[in-house]
Structure 1
Amino acid sequence: MPNRPVGLSRLNEVNCKTVFWNSGSGRSAEVGQVRQAMGSQSNHWIDLAETSDLSAAVKEAVANGCESVVAVGGDGTVNAIVNALMAVDAHARPTLAIIPLGTANDFAGTLNIPDDIAEAASLVDHPACPVDIVRISGTGAPRYYANMAAGGNCVRVSEAMTDEVKARWGSLSYIRGAVDVLPDMHTFRIDATCDDEKFTSLDCWAVLVANGKTNAGRIEVAPLASPTDGLFDVIIIRDGTVGDMVEIVTKNLMGDFLDSEQIIFRQVRSLQLQSSPTMRFTLDGEVFDDQPVQFDVVAGAIRIHCMVGI
């Protein structure tokens, strides 16, 4: 018999659930609250910190009767679970529940999943809604993400958000990181195809490919995005002056930055992009630096237990 991933035993109960959590997140007290909120149901807990092959763990859980996977953690945990689920054949893919921990949880926010642990845990037994996932492909194996890909200077801002900055600034960390990058914004020249519409030699500061509405700690950058419409939102921020960027930030705070002349906004099913220099993206925290790159929506790819009205 092959070795089983840590924590996985035979699943033969009705409507069994496999719960993934990360002991390295430093949130053991909150995980204890999750265990209490989920009660004594037939749940099987697997520690991501002790699981070398997450896709294999999910596939084996499915083979043993798992019908629902629960991701306990932030956007990074959800991203890892989403990629593992997408490796499972669509007809056998279990549903996904999210119990958000931490301060960001952008995708959970888009899905109207409560931050309260008990309330989020109660959704595990609610009906599941088909939700879109985005596939990103380069020269290597494709990756998937649920919330947002942020490229260009957005990656530099993320890198400026050191652990010290995060500890001191909390949910304002991204704005603090942007202050460091703003005086030295890099320009990227891109060729892009949004469905059938082409942009050639376009100079820009950043490209966002959004399935969810918020990024970097509930900062709303794609207010019209919906993870159930079969489309993703493409937001291209043209290059300009520091004053232009300040105007974009101001308009963002006022909720109307998509109308800015510095913004190109499209809702599409696919995006092809080539950049000079190479534009790196963060996919819900994971860095992707392959070029050329293609984004495709996988409509209704994963059924997620969430509130109605997304």
Structure 2
Amino acid sequence: MTQSVDKLQILWNPKAGPQERNAASLAQIKSEHGEQVCVHVTDSEEHSAQLTKQLIEQGARRIAAAGGDGVINVVADAILRANRPDVTLAVLPSGTGNDYARSLGLPLSPVEVMSSAITDSPATLDVFELQGNPDLSRFGVNMLAGGNTGEYTRQLTDEVKQQWGAFCFLRGAFGVLQNLEVFPLELQFDDGPPLQVNALNLFVANGRCAGAGLPVAPNALLNDGWLDVVVVLEGTAVQLAQLALTYVVGDPREHELIVARRVRRLTVRSEKTMAWAVDGQEFSASELTATIHPARLPVIVGPTNPAVTAQA
């Protein structure tokens, strides 16, 4: 694999997001920035991870993940496992959800991000590490979600988003109120005593958004050294409808069905195996621990970004 280490190395997933639009974006990027970039087309997540590792070994210092949150997670995980704090991650949002890009304050267009991806200095951001059973070991950059979140996001079709706009969160919640599974959980926040809850959803947020822009943790910061934990408890249909509305017009942390904490480490134990997703990467586990790693990954961020505090 021949490449210049001084160029921006782009790992492009052609299957992510709207393929025709992304193909046009790639053609425009090659036309406008061809001398400054090397494009590597990937055909699987394993291929993306392997290419990232090879690029780092060959001396690359700036790698861009072009695709959805899943591809970004794969590339970020590979950079972090290489333990190379001199390698910068750039994000070219071309997936469906683009939640990490939203948390970074980036334009949701790979073409519009290119100039900053090539030339801007990065901010050093937090990441989190997951350990659990069976054989779970992975880094995350934006959001860990467990419980009924997969069923909820399946309700948010493009038609629902277009018709309901910002209120699609409310509409999507209504769609799953009758089909929610309850998960008895034991939660341990840092070194505190275990807390027993019956949960519908659980979010561990480094960034602010999940599910294509839903403000799960609207006050989370990407470089404050904390994880924002949001637990949605079991409740009646009426209570859950009120909670969904609170997400649109109020502060959900004040709702009776919400447990909200800021932690450096969270351990979750479930009586049954739960479905989880970290930055869109799906897996199952009955026990896991999420631990914050402050100031671990250099990342290109948007010019005005409320989710990143100023760095000296």
Superposition TM-score tier, normalisation by shorter sequence: 0.7 to 0.9
1:53-76, CA deviations, whole angstroms, 9 ceiling, x for partnerless residues?
A: 433321221122211001112212
Equivalent residue in structure 2 for 1:94, among 87, 95, 98: 87
Asked if structure 2 preserves the Cα contact closer than 8 Å seen for 1:152 and 1:280, the reply is yes
Structure 2 letter corresponding to 1:135: E
Relative to structure 2, which stretch is displaced further, 59-68 or 82-91?
82-91
Match of 1:257 in 2: 252
Indicate whether 1:169 and 2:122 are aligned: no
**In 2, distance between residues paired with 1:53 and 1:24?**
13
Runs (5+) with no aligned partner, structure 2:
none
**In 2, distance between residues paired with 1:34 and 1:255?**
40
Other structure's SS at 1:272 match: strand
Indicate whether 1:55 and 2:49 are aligned: yes
**In 1, distance between residues paired with 2:250 and 2:116?**
30
Match of 1:286 in 2: 281
Alignment of 1:1-310 (within 5 A): 8-9=1-2, 11-13=3-5, 15-25=6-16, 26-37=18-29, 39-49=33-43, 52-91=46-85, 93-124=86-117, 125-139=119-133, 140-158=135-153, 160-161=154-155, 166-170=157-161, 178-308=173-303, 309=305, 310=308
Relative to structure 2, which stretch is displaced further, 33-42 or 125-134?
33-42
Runs (5+) with no aligned partner, structure 1:
1-7
Relative to structure 2, which stretch is displaced further, 126-135 or 178-187?
178-187
**In 1, distance between residues paired with 2:206 and 2:55?**
28
1:210-251, CA deviations, whole angstroms, 9 ceiling, x for partnerless residues?
A: 111111111111011111111110011111111111111111
**In 1, distance between residues paired with 2:205 and 2:45?**
29
**In 2, distance between residues paired with 1:99 and 1:197?**
39
Other structure's SS at 1:291 match: strand
Structure 1 letter corresponding to 2:252: F
Asked if structure 1 preserves the Cα contact closer than 8 Å seen for 2:272 and 2:286, the reply is no
**In 1, distance between residues paired with 2:242 and 2:169?**
17
Asked if structure 2 preserves the Cα contact closer than 8 Å seen for 1:129 and 1:304, the reply is yes
**In 2, distance between residues paired with 1:20 and 1:276?**
39
**In 2, distance between residues paired with 1:166 and 1:182?**
17
* Cα drift, residue 123 of structure 1: 1.2
**In 1, distance between residues paired with 2:27 and 2:8?**
13
Structure 2 letter corresponding to 1:234: V
**In 1, distance between residues paired with 2:139 and 2:193?**
24
Other structure's SS at 1:279 match: strand
Other structure's SS at 2:152 match: helix
Identity of aligned residues (%): 24
**In 1, distance between residues paired with 2:256 and 2:26?**
46
* Cα drift, residue 132 of structure 1: 1.1
Instruction: Provide the TM-score with structure 1 as the length reference.
Output: 0.87
Asked if structure 1 preserves the Cα contact closer than 8 Å seen for 2:271 and 2:286, the reply is no
Equivalenced residue count is 296
* Cα drift, residue 175 of structure 1: 5.7
**In 1, distance between residues paired with 2:226 and 2:257?**
22
* Cα drift, residue 170 of structure 1: 4.7
Structure 2 letter corresponding to 1:198: P
Other structure's SS at 2:150 match: helix
* Cα drift, residue 112 of structure 1: 0.8
Instruction: Provide the TM-score with structure 2 as the length reference.
Output: 0.86
